[in-house]
Amino acid sequence: MITKHKLVCLAAVLSALIASAAEKPPNIVFILADDMGWADLPCYGNRFNEAPNLSWLAEEGMRFTDAYAACPVCSPTRASILSGQYPARIGVIDFIPGHWRPYEKVTVPKNRTQHLPGEIITMQESMQKAGYRTGYFGKWHLGYAEDQLPSAQGADESYVFCNYDYYAPEFIPELRPALKGRLSEVLTDLSVDFIEKNQEQPFFLFLAHYDVHVQLDGDRDLIEKYLKKEKPDGYPGNAVYAAMVEHVDRSVGRVLQALDRFGLADNTVVFFFSDNGGLISRFDNVPLIADRSLDVYAHSPLKYIATSNLPLRSEKGTVYEGGIREPLIVRWPQKIARGAVCEVPVSSVDFYPTLLELAGTAAPANQVLDGVSILPALRGKSLDAERPLFWHYPVYHHGVPAGAVRKGDWKLVENQEDGSLELYNLRADINESTDVKELYPQKATALYALLKNWQNDVGAQLPVPNPDFNAEKRDEWGRHPDRK
């Protein structure tokens, strides 16, 4: 016979179980593309590439219109994500080891460190401390010595590839023989396996794709599909590049299917982001398609052109919008409104504090976090639209050494070769075509002071006059002094 006392006890137990379930921290999946530009996805207006899974993710969650990488190249942005710090503060200001033009007008600074410093408590380490099982699979590019790998910086499980070949990838540690195939598929296999093994506890999965980085390569059936597709006017429509976008999209789809299959979707936050803007053409002016697929454009200029970032200006390797503005999509069923759009500027330094808040854990003691949590925006609340964001890329790459600051709708670009300044109102001029510093001198002065104060605060390294400057040889590329 069920007594009143037993019913009360049963109700108490059920209430405790429900409360416990409600308080369970969400799983977190962070998917990072490489070199995928803001304008590469259909949900951001692209009319040639196909990415149905990412479009669906945007329909199910929130799409950010003004999300930024903290640097226009890979290693610094990756460091910013894992540390929550600006690259200039860390000392990783260029890809590792770096670009080098020995005869240019100014000598650019080298990275202070050629790996992610071990003393930084990474995002993964903080998630471990919060009780998460952590996995990192894919591109690392933050040091390959044993004590610099993800396994030494907070990843319970990790495989990072080290030879940059899409169809014959090599990994640290070596993969078991059964895992074969195109790189994107292998990384997805590892990720799905990680989800399945850890479905009974909170997990943090970091899936770092190499797609759509050069040298471009994809499955031949996908390439043929896009070779036959009509191109929008003015868009290059590189079929190999489009195939790679679809490879990433297929991976996203498989991860989402795994979350559904194991009943984890409702309590999993999924982030999709890219490390820098789209690459239009290589800085060294050589074909950007892998030999395996070069025949499709053997006699076409498209062997030199990957994509277009229009309406954004320029490309990877510059602090203009085409180099730093990224696709960012976040889904958390029943917590994030479906089809939501956030227009407030956010940065890759914001992911670390966001994950800390999601996990309900404190920031590391005595470690600066330059970002802020964007969880309020994900929940439909306001973020500070006037918070300044900063960039520091004192490197010759696809442009001159430069810095930038954005505050609200206004963006100032500092040319670190000749000291000139440019001012843009991004809300009115997203393609940065009209420099308005002469019309708004006080705005330019205020932003420049803000940028200089920030550079001093983070210890930003700046270019210096080059005693070996040679106007006739200035465009020559040299071997970086730190390259082994």
Long-range pairs for 57-60 at CB < 8 Å and ≥24 separation?
57/252, 57/256, 57/270, 57/272, 57/329, 57/331, 58/329, 58/339, 59/338, 59/339, 60/331, 60/333, 60/338, 60/339
362 closest CA partner among 375, 352, 374, 350? 352
| Annotated active-site residue in 71, 74, 213, 397 | 74
Residue 6 has a pLDDT of: 47
CA distance linking residue 26 with residue 155, whole number of Å: 18
User: What DSSP designation does 362 have?
Assistant: P
Q: In Å, what is the CA distance from 267 to each residue of 199, 201, 252, 350, 472?
A: 11, 11, 17, 21, 60
364 closest CA partner among 148, 124, 30, 75? 124
Residue appearing with tokens 């210890």: 459
User: What DSSP designation does 148 have?
Assistant: G
Q: Is 99 annotated as catalytic?
A: no
Q: Which ranges of 220-350 would DSSP assign to H, the alpha helix?
A: 220-227, 239-261, 321-324
Residue 3 has a pLDDT of: 55
Residue appearing with tokens 């994900």: 378
Q: What angle do CA 418, 424, 425 make, to 5 degrees?
A: 165
Sheet (strand 421-425) strand order: 389-393, 402-407, 410-415, 421-425
Q: In Å, what is the CA distance from 152 to each residue of 131, 157, 209?
A: 17, 10, 20
Q: Is 247 annotated as catalytic?
A: no
* Domains of the chain, start order: 27-385 (3.40.720.10)
| Annotated active-site residue in 71, 115, 141, 392 | 141
First to last CA, the chain: 79
| Chunked mean pLDDT (size 10), the chain, 484 residues | 49 45 84 98 98 98 99 98 98 94 94 95 98 98 95 97 92 87 97 97 98 98 97 95 99 99 98 98 90 94 96 98 99 97 98 98 96 97 95 96 98 98 98 98 98 98 95 88 74
Is the CB of residue 296 less than 8 Å from the CB of residue 222? no
Helix (H) or strand (E) holding 8: helix 4-23
Residue 2 has a pLDDT of: 52
Residue 176 has a pLDDT of: 81
Is the CB of residue 98 less than 8 Å from the CB of residue 395? yes
